[in-house]
Structure 1
Amino acid sequence: MIKLTRLDGEAFVLNAELIRYVERRGDTFVTLGSGERIVVRESIDDVVDRAIAYQQQKHFIPPPVHR
């Protein structure tokens, strides 16, 4: 999950697994696999960096210990 910001300043969390592609058309558009497009304040580089960090971190978090 990555935290992003809508153009109106509202923060939201996006499942990075759903991102199909990110493009810059004046604003940054995140297109999901479903075809839905979300416009965000972050730059393309920020979105990509957060998605990569998410992918890296999810493999380093140990599974919960069952007692």
Structure 2
Amino acid sequence: MISLTQLNGNTFTLNAIYIEQVQSFPDTTITLTTGKKFVVKESEEIVAQKVASFYRGITLLPLNSNKGEGQ
């Protein structure tokens, strides 16, 4: 789960496993596998970092992040 902020300032927790796509339109828009969309204050890069951290926490990514991300 990752914590994010809606444009109105409310925070919410999202299960990162369901994220299909993250785009900047220029607002950061997260599309889930269900088709539901969320617009958040965090940048696309911050969302990607939070997702990577989440996946490392549940051991779906290696703990050493020096290689592989973005490649």
- Identical aligned residues as a percent: 37
* Superposition pairs of residues 42-53 of structure 1, within 5 angstroms: 42-53=42-53
5+ residue gaps in structure 2? 60-71
* Superposition pairs of residues 31-42 of structure 1, within 5 angstroms: 31-42=31-42
Aligned residues: 59
Aligned-CA RMSD value: 0.5
**Alpha-carbon distance in 2 for matches of 1:37, 1:31:** 5
Q: Deviations over 1:1-48 (max 9, x none)?
A: 000000000000000000000000010000000001100000000000
Give 4+ residue runs of structure 1 displaced > 6 Å after superposition.
Answer: none
Structure with the higher fraction of residues in strand conformation: 1
TM-score by length of 2: 0.81
TM-score by length of 1: 0.86
More relative contact order, 1 or 2 (CA 8 Å, 6+ apart): 1
5+ residue gaps in structure 1? 60-67
**Alpha-carbon distance in 2 for matches of 1:26, 1:20:** 18
Query: Larger Rg: 1 or 2?
Result: 1
